[in-house]
Amino acid sequence: MRLEVSIDGMLAIHARNAVYTALASVDGVLRAEVELGRAELEHAGAASAAAVEQAVRAAIADAGFTVTAVRVLPRRLPTL
């Protein structure tokens, strides 16, 4: 599953690194792209969407930031 996460409180590049590291600690995260104020990640999908969202919110909160919204994105087809 793919998620887009809106994040409040990210003001500098060190915040991007902190959120990226936090997302890397969440079981099942395969890929993450982090920008100031948002992150897009791909999860293996072994857990329910609610469980993944809760784990992502907790990891980002532990890094010192607040998740304002989480949106499930449609899956992408592989590029040939």
Residues 6+ apart with CB under 8 A from 58: none
pLDDT surpasses 80 at 11: yes
Q: What's the whole-number mean pLDDT along residues 12-33? A: 95
Q: What is the mean pLDDT of residues 57-75?
A: 94
pLDDT at 47: 80
Greater model confidence, 44 or 75: 44
Domains of the chain with bracketed CATH: 2-73 (3.30.70.100)
- Percent of the chain at pLDDT > 90 equals 78
Which residues are 75's β-sheet partners? none
pTM of the predicted structure, to 2 decimals = 0.88
- How far apart (Å, rounded) are the C-alpha atoms in residues 17 and 32? 11
Chain-centroid distance, C-alpha 1? 11
- Indicate the pLDDT class of residue 80, thresholds 50, 70 and 90: low
